[in-house]
Copies of this chain bind each other. A is one copy, B any other.
Amino acid sequence: MSNRREDGAAGVTEADAGGGAQGGGLTGGPAGGPAGGPAGVSAGDAHLAHRVPELGALQLLLAVARLGSLGRAAAELGISQPAASSRVRAMERQLGVGLVERSPRGSRLTDAGVLVTDWARRVVEAAEAFDAGAQALRDRRDSRLRVAASMTVAEYLLPGWLIALRRERPDTAVSLLSGNSAAVVERLLADEADLGFVEGLTAPRGLRGAVVARDRLVVVVGPDHPWARRRTPLAPAELAATALILREEGSGTREVLDAALAEHGGLAAPLLELTSTTALKAAVASGAGPAVLSELAVAEELAAHRLIQIPVEGVDLRRALRAVWRSGQRPTGPGRDLLSLTRRVQ
**Which chain A residues have a beta carbon within 8 Å of chain B's beta carbons?**
14, 17-49, 51-52, 54-56, 59, 62, 65-66, 76-78, 95-97, 111-112, 114-116, 118-135, 137-140, 148, 150-161, 163-164, 167, 176-184, 186-187, 197-200, 212-216, 223, 247-248, 250-253, 255-256, 275-278, 294-297, 299-300, 303-305, 319-322, 344-346
Contact = CB atoms under 8 A, between A and B. Distances in A.
Given A27-B199, A223-B344, A296-B28, A37 B160 contact: yes
Contacts of A24: 150-151, 179-183, 250-252
Name the residue among A28, A148, A248 with the largest chain B CB count within 10 angstroms: A28
Contacts of A157: 28-29, 35-36
Contacts of A45: 128, 131
A160 B300 CA distance: 11
A32 B33 contact: yes
Nearest to A344: B305
A34 B34 contact: yes
16 contacts: A18-B148, A20-B183, A22-B179, A24-B182, A26-B181, A26-B198, A26-B200, A28-B294, A32-B32, A38-B129, A38-B163, A39-B160, A46-B78, A48-B56, A114-B276, A118-B278
Copy number in the complex reads: 2
B23 A248 contact: yes
B25 A252 contact: yes
A255 B26 contact: yes
B125 A26 contact: no
B163 A39 contact: yes
B253 A27 contact: yes
A44 B247 CA distance: 38
A123 B247 CA distance: 25
A320 B23 CA distance: 18
Contacts of A14: 138, 140
Contacts of A216: 31
